[in-house]
């Protein structure tokens, strides 16, 4: 169950980075509120997951989900470049996250 909580926390990390971009330096109230809600839920869920998962593994997976998700959002919604090397390294990051999950002690 804590792996699911950790994955949801990672999705909220993607949410807060996306809201941060859309908040226009916190001048857009709607996206600024979305940022605050997302970052709060992300940290609460990360904290919950680290109560039973190894802290280093949980943090690495959380940041990895956030990084991969944020890059994907950037490519799909903000027209950021999708070069071969960018996609290649995102795939290696996904592989690393999966490896941490499969070889974690819990």
The mean of the pLDDT values for the chain is 94
Burial 17-55, CB ≥16 within 10 A → b, else e = bbbbbebeeeeeeebbebbeebbebbeebbebbbeebee
Could you report the per-residue pLDDT of 26-68, keeping only the tens digit for each?
Answer: 999 999 999 999 999 999 999 999 999 999 999 999 999 999 9
């Amino acid at each position: 169950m804590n792996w699911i909580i950790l994955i949801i926390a990672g999705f909220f990390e993607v949410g807060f980075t996306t809201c941060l971009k859309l908040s226009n330096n916190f001048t857009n109230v709607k996206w600024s509120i979305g940022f605050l809600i997302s970052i709060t839920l992300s940290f609460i869920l990360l904290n919950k997951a680290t109560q039973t998962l190894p802290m280093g593994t949980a943090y690495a997976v959380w940041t990895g989900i956030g990084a991969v998700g944020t890059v994907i959002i950037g490519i799909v919604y903000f027209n950021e470049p999708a070069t071969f090397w960018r996609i290649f390294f995102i795939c290696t990051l996904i592989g690393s996250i999966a490896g941490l999950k499969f070889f974690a002690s819990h």
